[in-house]
Structure 1
């Protein structure tokens, strides 16, 4: 691998796109399209717009068949790979699972997989628009509001998970924070950029899952807005290294989500 993989897209799977639009519009400042994207064909897919004109990700409306098959509201990330089919084969050979086989969509080729501990994610080889070849996605940022700022994996086997992502996606793992009886909070890096952490499963995480922290302009305003718009606070804002604050919540449709930002 010549370059470590990055998160190039984030997707909210939800049974109520309009409700999600109202919630994340109030809390984050996003605009979620009122209608499905015609380019998505029969799938109800809507773009998440930032106030600077860029996209923060997408919303997939869960239909009756998806819900009957066990799909539930969830945030899920897309990791860049050069060859989706090769990545899926390698992941499967290392004990991962294929939840949706490789398929072509208008913007590239994707597959949904799960790591050996069961945390789901997509792999994607994007087809960039003409004139944008070589450009990197900007949906993740370590500093900016209205973007995902932190990627956190809660897993049943942190050692094995770290080894898996290092092998398949080229990430590094340096540094950790002691969380007492819970265990170590171990930081992960893409090159010289710290992109998130791996932690043991704890109360509130019944199965391995990626949790994403969205940047907000004011953590206290976000906390009040979550509560006022039908969300549930699962952990109150707590100070993190660097002086900002992070909190966890469940949106009104049931998708776990994190928020991070300054206290003003």
Structure 2
């Protein structure tokens, strides 16, 4: 894999209703979510691929079973960070106050584990196995500019200074520049691999615990806003202009997963 270590390489939607999610994200983003579980998924797990209009995978959908929900799983999005050594990453993360939510396991696509940073924001670490004959492949679920990819990764955390230091140490991220939000604190930009990949900010009212929010690229923010409302979603923050002239908004999908969208205003 040619992505640098510490890159976001995959995104996963956890939902109890993959068919409903397919209708929603198809209308809002243009994705196709497979009608059936991927043949390579572990036995008993319903895991479906998200496919972009032009081809390629945008991520995956994990169907939450009744047992998963009884065990505390809830609808939401999680990101995967690339590490060449999952076990070493787990040891380092836990030594610095992080936690393991799902122990490391091997799947046909690679070795992975679900962890949390010291403030409690959850993510996966993964050492992927490239497809046969594609050892130099690069994961492209994240793109700074392209629609139907995740374009921005936003961390809301109880301790931005400590969180930034954690991701800097373990994943090689940088932090330069910020927007002053007044009494709400600083919106601090994060860099990795030469790109601005997202930001870290303090927890705000309505966000009960540290968490990642991902912003999916759309072709037209106003069209996407209409599609969210028309397909059972809830707008939590109306489109607002961001640096560079595009617009971002926040929503909750019909199954309860928090998500963001970003793109141009064409009308």
Instruction: Indicate if the aligned counterparts of 2:11 and 2:59 stay in contact, CA closer than 8 A.
Output: yes
Distance 1:131 1:177 in 2: 44
Instruction: Indicate if the aligned counterparts of 2:114 and 2:122 stay in contact, CA closer than 8 A.
Output: yes
> Equivalent residue for 1:239?
241
Write out per-residue CA displacement over residues 12-66 of structure 1, whole angstroms, 9 at most, x where no aligned residue: 0001000000000000000000111121032100000000111000000000111
Partner SS for 1:242: coil
Q: 2:219 aligns with which of 207, 217, 220?
A: 217
Distance 1:123 1:74 in 2: 17
1:128 CA displacement: 0.3
Distance 2:206 2:50 in 1: 27
> Equivalent residue for 1:23?
24
Distance 2:206 2:108 in 1: 36
Instruction: Indicate if the aligned counterparts of 1:4 and 1:171 stay in contact, CA closer than 8 A.
Output: no
Counterparts of 1:103-182 in structure 2, within 5 Å, are: 103-182=105-184
Moved >3 Å (runs of 4+): none
1:132 CA displacement: 1.4
Give me the CA root mean square deviation.
Answer: 1.0
1:204 CA displacement: 2.2
1:191 CA displacement: 2.8
Count of aligned pairs between the two proteins: 263
> Equivalent residue for 2:8?
7
Distance 1:25 1:192 in 2: 31
> Equivalent residue for 1:254?
256
Distance 2:4 2:60 in 1: 25
Write out per-residue CA displacement over residues 79-107 of structure 1, whole angstroms, 9 at most, x where no aligned residue: 00010011001100100000000000110
1:163 CA displacement: 0.2
2:46 counterpart of 1:44? yes
